[in-house]
Structure 1
Amino acid sequence: MSHPKKVQLPLTNYNSTSLNKSNLLVLYADMLLGRNFEDMCAQMYYKGKMFGFVHLYNGQEAVSTGVIKLLNPTDYVCSTYRDHVHALSKGVPSKNVMAELFGKETGCSKGRGGSMHIFSAPHNFLGGFAFIAEGIPVATGAAFQSIYRQQVLKKTEKLRVTACFFGDGTTNNGQFFECLNMAVLWKLPIIFIVENNQWAIGMAHHRSSSIPEIHKKAEAFGLPGIEVDGMDVLAVRQAASQAVQRARQGDGPTLIEALTYRFRGHSLADPDELRSRQEKEAWVARDPIKKLKKYILDNKIADLGELNDIQTTVKKELEQSVEFAISSPEPNISELKRYLFSDQ
C-alpha cells in the first residue's frame, strides 16, 4: 500500500504546520461539505421544508475546518446559532443534522432543537445557542471538568480540549470577559475562537466596540491573543495547532480572532441590504474554498479530477441526507416532554 507523498508547506506562510496530501484533501472535503450543506439548506428553506430562523455559514468554512479538524473525538466543541457546519466538522452525520433541520425524530436533537440547537453527545458537540454568549459559560464548564477529571478523579488520559466559537458581537458581553478571567485563573484547556465576520446582524463591528481588534482584549486577562486570516484554512490551522498544544499541555487558554465574512445575510429571512455590494464582492473574491483549491493545484498536491471526485461525493451525500430527512418520521406528540431531562 503506497502512502501519500509528504508535502511541506512554505515556511514563510505556515512555519509550524506540516500536512500530507491526505490531510489537505480532508480539509478541502470538509469545507466543501459545509458550503454545499448550507446551500442545500437554503433550497429546502425556500421550499418550505424548514421553519423558523436559519443562519447559514457560507464564507466562514475555513474557521470551522481549520480548528475542529485538529481536535480529538474526545475533545469538545461549543457553537452558536450558526452551528450546522461546526457540527459537521465535529463528525455529526450530515443526514442527522439535516433531519434535525426538518424537525424529524431522526435528527441529532430528536427534532426538538432545530437549526439553532444542534447537539450531539456522542460527538461531544455541546450545542448551538440561540442567544449570543450563551455557549461561552457552557464551554468553560466543559473545560473545567477536563481539569477536574485529571486532578480530582485522577484520570490518566490527556487533557480534553474545548473549542468555543462565537461572533464579534459577543465580545462586548459580560460572559465573554468573565469566562476569559476564569479560564486564565484555572488554566483551563479551552480555545476561544472569535469568528469576526464584521457584522453583528446589522451592526458593523467597528461601530460597536471601543477596541475593534478583539484579540487585544486578551491582554487584560493574561492569555495569548492571536489575529488570523479566517479566509485561509491553513493559517487558521496553524494558529489553532499552537492553541491546542498549549491547552493540552495544561498551559491554559488562547483567544483566536479569525477575520472572516458571511457571504449571505444574517439569516435566510434577512434581505442583506445594509452591507455594500463593494464590500461583499471584496470578501467573496477571497473565498476560502477557492483559495485552498488553488493551493492544492498550484503545488500539484492533487489534480482537478481528484477534487471534482470529492465534489461529486459531497453532492451525493447531501442528496441522500435530504432523502433521509424527508422519509424520517415526525416526533410523536405523546412524547412532547421527552428529553427535557436525562434518563440517567
Structure 2
Amino acid sequence: MDDRAQIIDEPLPGDEAGAELDNPNDGNEVLAGVETAQVEAARESAGLEASKNHDDDGNRFYLILSAIVCVVGVIIIVVMLVAVKDDDDDGVDSPASPTPAPTAPIVMVEDAQDRLDMLLEGSASNPATASFAATKIPADASVLEGINLDDETIDPVTRAAAWSVHVDPYKAEREVVQRFALAAVYYGTGGYDWLSKDGWFGESSFCDGWEGLRCCGDYHVEVDPHQCLDKEKYHLIEVDLAENNLKGVIPLAFALLEYVEILWLEGNDLTGPLDPVIFSNMPHLDSLYVHRNRLSGSINATLRDNGHLDTLFAHNNDFTGDWPSNFCFQCAANGDCDH
C-alpha cells in the first residue's frame, strides 16, 4: 500500500475509538475534502489579493483625481487674480493704491490794485529794487491804465508794472512779483529784438512754455539731487537768455527772481557794470554766466554776499582791476588771483 493509503488507513486524529473507516472510499472523500478546502482557501486568498489590488487601484485613482482638482483650482485662482489686476489697470480703484497728496489750489488775484500792491511790496522789500519801487511805480493802479507798452520812452519798469497790473492774463498770486520782474527784464533789454522769446507773456504759468525758463517741476531729483531742495515745483530756478540779443545794462529787476540758482546771460550785448547789488540780493544764485558781453568796470567782492555764488564766468568783457580774493580759492597758496 502506498504512503497515501497508509495515512488514510491510520486512525484519524481525534477519533477516540481508533477504529478503522467503515468504507475505504471515505479516505478518498476526506482527501477530496481537504483538497477542496485548500482550493477554496487559495481562491479566498486570491480574492483578497485581487480585492487589495482593486482597492490600491481605486486609491490611486482618487489621488490622481484629487491632484487634478487641485491643479484646476490653482489655475482658476490665478486667472481670477489676473482679471482683478486688469480691472485695476483699467481704472478700477485698488484699495492698496496710495492716494496722492492733494494739490493746493492756485489763488488768483483779480483786482488790479491788489496786484499793484503786491509788486510794490515785493520791490520795496528788496534792497536792489527798493529805489525804483518808490520812483517808477505809481501807488494807484488807475495811473497805469492806457500806458503804451511799446513806447520805449517810458521807463521799462513802469511799462512792466502796467502790463502786470492791467494786461497779464495769468493772475496767479504766487507769480505776480516774478512775472513783473521778467517783464521789466524784457522791456529793459530790448525784448522786442530778442531772438528767442516763445511763450513769453502767455496765458499760463511761466513754468509752462516761457522759452529759456526752467522751474523745479522740470528737474528730476535723481539726476539733479542738489536742485530744488526745499522748493516748490513752480519755483523758477533757471533763466537762460544766452546769445539772445539782450542789449543795455543788466536790469535791477533780476534781483526779484528770488529762487533762481542759475543765470545765463553770456553772448549778448550787455553793457555797464556787473552790479553787485543785483546778484548779492538773489539769495539762491550759485552760478552766473556773463562772459562774451561788453561789461565794464571792476568785479566787486560783494558780488558773493548772497553766500551761495560759487561759479562766475566773466571772461571776454571789458573789466578792469584785479579779481577779488574771495573768488580765488587758491589765493592763500600762491598769493596771486590774476592767474
TM range (shorter): under 0.3
Q: Which has the larger radius of gyration?
A: 2
TM-score normalised according to structure 1 size:
0.21
Q: Which has the higher contact order (CA 8 A, sep 6+)?
A: 1
TM-score normalised according to structure 2 size:
0.22
